[in-house]
Amino acid sequence: MLKSNLTTVPRMWDYNDQRPQCEGYISADSSWGWGNQISELFSVFGYAIMYDMKNIMLKAEVRDRFGKVFPAMKAIPAYDELPCKIDNYVEVPLKKGLKFNHTLNLVSKQFAHDNRIGFTFRKEILQLFDFAENIKEVIRNTKARIKATQRQRMGLKTALPITLVGIQCRRTDYINHIVFFGGLSVTEYYYYKAMDIMRTKFGPNIAFVIASDDLLWIREKFGHYSQDVYFAVDYYQDVGGESFVFDFALLASLDHIIIRFFNGDDVEFAHG
């Protein structure tokens, strides 16, 4: 049995459902935003692999939302498509060390996830997060345009490799969110420092691609970096789905990314 403070929630579904009872299904019940849902799904998929759980289901709206961007997720069934029903399930925070009974059905608590679980099985999970071909094509072309422009700016006559570094500047709603949880919003100087670190580490053949929900702010704060800075919005193309998918896919495809995290701790993730 699961050894945790679990709450059994009876009959979340239709009382008249005549299907047999499901066993061993795991799902995410998130109603959060795009980034948080991805983080939760990352944990759910990792947990399923760790405990050899063959059955994953998603809310239809979640599956359909992400299926437009990641086609592999279209194969994950929604509840109404299951051959069985889930009258009882347990809500559980996904974390290592949790004992699992395969006769139970698990639903992760909202935003109670652990990305370390998913990271352990990152290679397998990323197969589900493989972008649609039309998105890949747009991103490949965008990166090629940025690299070609950067070579022109530098006066390069040969196709030397250009390291592309993404910068994520989420500001509008997130500033108040950070303050609410006791954090401090990072300033432009955090990004300036991170950019200098990257220039030192990777040399002159580097370009930064900035994506943000505050376009006036990034142009004001980064516009003077005319030699190696590009704004994702200047290359925007509709790739289907929600408008920020282009920014997300572009940043995810770059060699490195600089992010902001609450109090502005130094964080650097190498791609792939």
Looking at residue 272, its amino acid is G
Alpha carbons 170 and 238: distance in angstroms, whole number? 20
pLDDT score for 3: 34
Top-confidence residue, 38 or 142: 142
- Asked whether residue 2 is domain-assigned, the answer is no
Co-location of 82 and 168 in the same domain = no
Whether the CB-CB separation of 181 and 174 falls below 8 Å is answered with no
* 185 and 63 within one domain: no
**H or E element: which one contains 101?**
none
Give the residue among 269, 271, 237 at the shortest CA–CA distance from 254. 271
User: Within this chain, do residues 153 and 257 fall inside the same structural domain, yes or no?
Assistant: yes
What burial letters (b/e) apply to 216-238, b meaning 16+ CB within 10 Å?
Answer: eebeebbeeeeebbbbbeebeee
* Domain of 51, in residue numbers: 7-125
Per-residue pLDDT tens digits for 4-29 = 333 334 444 455 677 888 877 888 76
Averaged pLDDT of the chain: 80
Q: Read off the CATH number of the domain in which 206 is found.
A: 3.40.50
In a domain, 265, yes or no: yes
pLDDT of 261: 58
**CA 112/CA 40 separation, integer angstroms:** 8
* Residue 218 placed within a domain: yes
* Chain CA centroid to CA 55, Å: 22
> Any idea how long the chain is?
272
What radius of gyration do the chain's Cα atoms show? 22
Percent above pLDDT 70 for the chain: 79
Number of domains into which the chain is organized: 2
